[in-house]
Amino acid sequence: MNEKYQENFRLRISDFDTFDHLTPHAVLDLFQDVAGKHADLIGVGFDKMIKDNLIWVLLRTKYEVIKNPPLYSTVTVSTWPKEKGKIDFDREYVITDEKGEVLIEGISKWVVVNVATRHLSFTRNIQYTCDILDEENFPGTFRKIEDFSVEGFSVYEEKTTLSDLDHNGHVNNANYARFILNAINLQKNDEIADFEIDHIKELMPNSLIKIFYKRDGNVIMLKGFTEDGEVSFVSKITLR
């Protein structure tokens, strides 16, 4: 099977913020969409995996914006898996415009979890029909964001709703970016250059999330907590 999966998308007004910048939620949603469709094609999609009580769980995502696409433009989103780790899977993404110019490059890290036991499944147990490419957007190990204290950070609170959920029954991964954008309240000249998020504890419906955030120059650090006080996610945003 072809190593890369590609699909064209026409961007909608809802994919952009009030300053006509493509939102992190839209980027993560595009990544998630092509990853899911490609997984179906190579035999490890949701319907196939859930029969064995297995689901894909996203650990972290990172992307870099080279150029912001214009409103209503059509983009091509490409994705392909990297070589398996012992317990994790990295997947690459590229978003290009109609001329083939690269707009956004990204990567995500996944694990497979047994929903009955909550245990991780080793990658050797997950087989898919796809060749592996050496091509990568961010050479080297895809590491999590280094931990940091939230002392002196501002706090934003939001309650999750049923509309935030996915078919696994918890808040959809892309919606974390929406919470983040609500918290930091970017201004007109604040264009995102790099976005990273590490998922630690799932968010459930009708629960309060507290997001601690602080801007230092062009870098914004964020840490989200569940209402039980557990860390839900950590994020880092770099502005141009």
Assigned fold of 5-125: Thiol Ester Dehydrase; Chain A (3.10.129)
Domain 154-239 fold is: Thiol Ester Dehydrase; Chain A (3.10.129)
Please give the DSSP secondary-structure letter assigned to residue 219.
Answer: E
The listed range with the strongest mean pLDDT (36-45, 103-112, 136-145) is 103-112
For residue range 203-213, what is the model confidence (pLDDT) as tens digits? 988 899 999 99
**Overall residue count recorded for the chain in this entry:** 240
Whose structure tokens read 């319907």?
A: 47
82 vs 90: CA distance, rounded Å: 5
Please count the other Cβ atoms lying within 10 Å of the Cβ belonging to residue 41.
15
Rounded CA-CA distance 184/155 in Å is 10
pLDDT at 165: 78
Q: How far apart are CA 179 and CA 175, in angstroms?
A: 7
Structure tokens that stand for 165 in this block: 């959920």
- Report the distance separating Cα 67 and Cα 187, nearest Å: 18
Q: Which of 70-74, 140-144, 235-239 has the lowest mean pLDDT?
A: 140-144
Above 80 in pLDDT, residue 169? no
pLDDT at 2: 57
At residue 1 the predicted structure's pLDDT band, cuts being 50, 70 and 90, is low
Range(s) within the chain of domains with CATH label 3.10.129.10: 5-125, 154-239
